[in-house]
Structure 1
């Protein structure tokens, strides 16, 4: 069984943190504009000294400001807010130092094992992540992690449309949803469109999802499906009216798994549930990521990078425990998976693989297929 690494909080009784000052605060004077010298957050746990106490933000993300505000019970708490969402009167933390000297401490090594021996070798072959890397142990750890998260965590999948182009991949992802390993899906218009096209016409972009043969007039198929979904009014209404039982989208609808579909400038249609406003979509993605403990990004470079910027390396559970957030980036491109490799601590695991192969391997490893 998986054992999560213990979190080691900073020792605030020792210098220089013991004598650190309270953080400086400044009020927002104009909506969407942070005060000069605002502190910008990272993906790590960050503590701010307020009223003589060190506070930790329960939810965080990169590149945002920290607002000090009363919590539900009246006690002060930290809220991590995108600068565009700041409002007049918000009290924003100032300071560009991260060592506690300005009342802000960034704790980058909270999940490190203090008793682990340092490696003796300064040089070793194949330390990067490439097509030559062996990923067998990564798969084994992922199986253990997903089994643990099904009972104790929340797994969000960030998916490109490649899943919808292959019959086995669609089926494997459907099994993952039905097996309880999916708590949220973030994607674009294309994944949902072509998955529904596959469910109703057995094609994706007009090609048979098993043989890959182009069908006569197949270039109309996805457009016809979009039109039919728009006529139904929503994806859920379409799935229920058509009695669709196979595929990723239908399994999410049946199990009540939420989906955030963020649109792009190139979208056909789009489907009625697709969020066309980029900042509204970002807000919906951020909301879905709150409480996520494992995030798996597959074959979608822009969604992967965006999600990485919104996902902290830690989560605070309901009982106050600080635990790591695991982040996987899976793609055939080495550039994409290594783009987020330096996110820090335990959170980023790059796997170079065809995602259609990846998901079928994972489903088999979990005993679903």
Structure 2
């Protein structure tokens, strides 16, 4: 005896690969399907629609298939309200809680779709009756804006990481009443973002691709968007420091996310002219150069902070200098291997993660520059609608980012010491 469920797909489901992904998922998980209705969009703007009956041998098998389809944008044909269960304790979610993707998501409550705020992967969804919002709206006070398709008055749905769950939070459980909307691949390639089709390549013509990245950054800024740079120490070591500092100074980089090592290398370059003991211009290793980084850390600690070091004249150039003097916010997230660390480095992992999360949700475009761990950390906090460029000389860094769920990222396998100066040249000198 078989069990079945009806699901539907809509949008640009053919050229985005959504329909193919769903068919493959059904077969890989041992199920079968029948296409009940299929309408093909015949123009670039017309959407397609498919309604499928999915069949499996057992209810558990069907649940696994439907879960996989759900992640790929297939939704039940006849949705019901989402199931809500109270959290039994702080940091404890109910069994079978819904774990989010990074795609735009809605939950159904009292027969209406409510858009989930601050979407990111691997979170729980909390629904609350926000009576104060309805009261303030009725009294004429300004209320927070809601998404266009959120027609459920006084109801909010938003993500929470597990350590932020509070006892009594109404948490979405199961798979019913949830609608996922993966970003669709654009049909046309015109415009600054036309090249951003995902994937990784070391064979793309670097200069022409960097030119397109520059156009995308410029368009983001023209539209009033924010650009976040996620940087590794290799950027300083490879000689791209001055180019990135220019981008920060001229407003093409609005925020910085990095680790203790990046800031130390950058500050050491100003104080001693070296990065990890090496002169990045002559490639010489000065006497006692291996101690320069720890001397730099001690001087900044003595000053009180990076800002204090800038204001006292200890630091007079570089990326961190430009962040301070131009009020560009930065997050330095520490690790177990950090020397010092600098006084600005967050050594509490949860505190650092929350700070990164705030940056990620504010960013409209992210440049990930030669850092695996920070790229994955920031990528985990990003909604899939945020444009991402990942640059690294090691292809494994770029592919791991995509494998971890940041499928919207465009990967360039190239030297960051070449990429950033050419990018700055394209944006600032042409």
Residue 232 (structure 2) aligned to one of 160, 183, 195: 160
Match of 1:104 in 2: 178
Residue 253 (structure 2) aligned to one of 146, 167, 182: 182
Q: Does 2:357 match 1:286?
A: yes
Match of 1:42 in 2: 101
Q: Check whether the contact 1:175–1:368 (CA below 8 A) recurs between aligned residues.
A: no
Match of 2:422 in 1: 361
Match of 1:27 in 2: 86
Alpha-carbon distance change, 116 to 180 in structure 1, aligned in 2, over 3 angstroms:
closer
Match of 1:121 in 2: none
Match of 1:322 in 2: none
Alpha-carbon distance change, 334 to 53 in structure 1, aligned in 2, over 3 angstroms:
same
Please state how far the C-alpha of 1:163 moved relative to its aligned partner. 2.0
CA distance in structure 2 between the partners assigned to 1:42 and 1:80 by the alignment: 11
Please state how far the C-alpha of 1:230 moved relative to its aligned partner. 0.5
Q: Check whether the contact 2:233–2:265 (CA below 8 A) recurs between aligned residues.
A: yes
Please state how far the C-alpha of 1:232 moved relative to its aligned partner. 1.0
Moved more, 243-252 or 32-41: 243-252
Please state how far the C-alpha of 1:246 moved relative to its aligned partner. 1.5
Q: Does 2:280 match 1:209?
A: yes
Please state how far the C-alpha of 1:209 moved relative to its aligned partner. 2.2
Match of 1:340 in 2: 401
CA distance in structure 2 between the partners assigned to 1:360 and 1:228 by the alignment: 29
Match of 1:52 in 2: 111
Residue 73 (structure 1) aligned to one of 103, 111, 133: 133
Residue 173 (structure 1) aligned to one of 235, 244, 260: 244
Moved more, 346-355 or 44-53: 346-355
Deviation readout 1:141-161 (Å, 9 max, x if unpaired): 211111122232111111001
Q: Could you tell me the TM-score, scaled by structure 1's length?
A: 0.84
Match of 1:268 in 2: 339
CA distance in structure 1 between the partners assigned to 2:384 and 2:419 by the alignment: 24
Alpha-carbon distance change, 49 to 7 in structure 1, aligned in 2, over 3 angstroms:
farther
Deviation readout 1:104-162 (Å, 9 max, x if unpaired): 011124x344x779xxxxxxxxx963433334443232111111222321111110011
CA distance in structure 1 between the partners assigned to 2:313 and 2:274 by the alignment: 17
Q: Which has the higher contact order (CA 8 A, sep 6+)?
A: 1
Alpha-carbon distance change, 61 to 345 in structure 1, aligned in 2, over 3 angstroms:
closer
- Give aligned pairs, total: 334
Please state how far the C-alpha of 1:80 moved relative to its aligned partner. 0.5
Q: Does 2:318 match 1:247?
A: yes
CA distance in structure 2 between the partners assigned to 1:261 and 1:244 by the alignment: 17
CA distance in structure 1 between the partners assigned to 2:170 and 2:126 by the alignment: 5
Alpha-carbon distance change, 218 to 343 in structure 1, aligned in 2, over 3 angstroms:
closer
SS at structure 1 position matched to 2:419: helix
CA distance in structure 2 between the partners assigned to 1:83 and 1:8 by the alignment: 40
Moved more, 19-28 or 339-348: 339-348
The alignment yields a C-alpha RMSD, in angstroms, of 2.7
Please state how far the C-alpha of 1:292 moved relative to its aligned partner. 1.0
Q: Does 2:367 match 1:296?
A: yes
Match of 1:329 in 2: 390
* Unmatched tracts of structure 2, length 5 or more: 1-43, 50-73, 135-153, 190-197
Residue 141 (structure 1) aligned to one of 200, 209, 212: 212
5 Å-filtered alignment, 1:120-139, equals 129-139=200-210
Moved more, 169-178 or 336-345: 336-345
Q: Could you tell me the TM-score, scaled by structure 2's length?
A: 0.72
Moved more, 241-250 or 285-294: 241-250
Residue 162 (structure 2) aligned to one of 83, 87, 90: 83
* Unmatched tracts of structure 1, length 5 or more: 1-5, 118-126, 315-324
Match of 1:123 in 2: none
Alpha-carbon distance change, 276 to 78 in structure 1, aligned in 2, over 3 angstroms:
same
